[in-house]
Structure 1
């Protein structure tokens, strides 16, 4: 396959290999070579099998100006949105009820089969939390009263919508 408009001469390939081993990015190499795109450089590097990169940046990259790292931005507060002179109120977050993990595991068992609903019986105001294996005829949905504007009941919403900090904390516990 030949890159349209790009001629990879032996000299250009050697320069590509040198710049790549020096640790330059594909964009920097493309600008050094001229008349070649970043994607063409990436493709050629891949076809040549050049995977190793320099551990330390050399003088070639140190002399190049680097963008200053941006300070991390604080999460934006939830504020009403303004659209066409109409203020749209933010959707209030439902309070997350702290429960033991073993209670969460047994939630599917706590709802009797008689209260669970099939896809045909599911209505707009019912919880759409899936229960069981979708390939089995016993597959059902929770069917409890859902929170207005959300597809789940209070309990399943607390399982589905966890704050990021809580999810990270749970991952650390699992890894330990």
Structure 2
């Protein structure tokens, strides 16, 4: 006994209509619209349970497949040139950045063991990295109100830690606009 009113048994009349329309090639949605109270999924389920397939319908309703088109010949890629339509010129690479002499400073006499470093002392590592027993840091004074991203370094080592060196000039507006145009292209 079905509790759901939509899940009722199929009558002989409904099954006959279903078989007839299915063999004529109608879709499950079209059949469901003819049968009151039946959904597309109910029609599909009943067709499956009855063991019917589309192979049962007459062959005359099937359309022949269109003949395959011959493959196209690939086109040659277009030739791309610069604005003057002449040969492309290679630009010279920018020289590598050179550290200013003020940033290349030897370890000072204030170097302390990293574990003994105080909050107001620079934590830039100095010494030999191969000797872990002597992990030393700069120990120079950290100015109050230092940049938050490098607040544990002295002024010299804070300048080394930043991506753009303090001594190098900023990019001009013209160069910046040019780089944006190149990026967008």
TM-score (norm 1): 0.32
Q: Which has the larger radius of gyration?
A: 2
